[in-house]
Amino acid sequence: MKLKFGKDKKAETDARIKVLGSGCAKCRQLEENANTAIKNKGLDDVVLHINDMVEIVSYGVMTTPALVIDEKVVSTGKILSAKEIEELI
């Protein structure tokens, strides 16, 4: 199951920033920080939160939360700050 946060269905497939995780507090915090980073950079991106474990493992991720930017896993197992995410975008 995918949780989609955004304006339209197209955002689900076009999302370049994804948070992988079960939806725990750490995952939600990473998602919030990613949204803050997007806002700070003046971007119009949407963060897609993926909580399907099969899909998470397909990225090679074994520890969540994880952050994916442009289909590349850039962080696993920790909560990046908004500032750290801004530098990765």
Predicted local confidence at residue 14, as pLDDT: 64
Superfamily grouping for domain 2-88: Glutaredoxin (3.40.30.10)
SS3 47: strand
pLDDT value, residue 30: 97
What is residue 15's predicted lDDT score, i.e. its pLDDT?
A: 76
The Cα–Cα gap between 61 and 17 comes to: 15
How does pLDDT run along the chain (89 residues), one tens digit per residue?
A: 444 444 444 444 567 899 999 989 999 999 999 999 999 999 988 999 999 999 999 999 999 999 999 999 999 999 999 999 999 98
How far apart are the C-alpha atoms of 41 and 49, rounded to whole Å? 20
Provide the residue count of the chain: 89
Q: Where are the domains of the chain?
A: 2-88
Report pTM.
0.81
